[in-house]
Amino acid sequence: MKYQFCIYGHPVLRQPADPVALIDKAIRILARDMLEIMGEKKGVGLAAQQIGQTVQICTIGFDPKYDAAEPGGARLNPEVELPLVMINPVILSRTGAKTDTEGCLSVPEIWAPVHRAWEVSVKFLNLKGELQTLQARGLLARVIQHEQDHLNGVLFVDRVSAVKKISLSGKLKRMKKKTEAELGLG
């Protein structure tokens, strides 16, 4: 299937996703395609809305060397096999806090500090339809929160400080205007 990669200003990025009712061949193909697109775009996560789909599925994957509190340190989440496909994810708890720089494939060339929980507990279905629960720390927790936001129609730029929003507003307005013009919405 051909997907349209959605950039800031595309209305689908603001649509909350619908729960996946049945994990069938189409969902497994979507997950496979999302993992491939995420790799091609060199992203660490991808939500279905980013490719124009409005179902609750996201993919997460990055080099395990980044799953550490400090360069060369021990993995924070050694029990988690990456890449990860999460269907109908729900964050159960958030603890700790850390501000770190984030970016997004759908908001290209913009990076900003975002305050997020350091650790999350999340439940989701895997591709076999099995209910999974995992505790995630560090970068993995951040990416889970970022992708969960996407599934709820929230973008990382919505979570930056008021001062940073003001400094980004011109770039974001231009990006939105360009996207809307390309879609024939402007």
Positions annotated as catalytic residues are: 147
Query: How far is Cα 49 from Cα 179, in angstroms, rounded to an integer?
Result: 15
Query: How far is Cα 24 from Cα 95, in angstroms, rounded to an integer?
Result: 34
> Which amino acid is present at 175?
M
The number of angstroms, rounded, from the C-alpha of 90 to the middle of its chain's C-alpha atoms is 13
User: Would you state the torsion angle of the CA atoms of residues 136, 138, 139, 143, taken in this order, to the nearest 10 degrees?
Assistant: 50
Query: How far is Cα 180 from Cα 111, in angstroms, rounded to an integer?
Result: 22
Best CA proximity match to 56, nearest among 9, 124, 5: 124
**Which tokens sit at 155?**
């973008």
> Got the DSSP string for 13-27?
GGSPPBPP----HHH
Find out whether 57 and 20 touch, Cβ atoms under 8 Å: yes
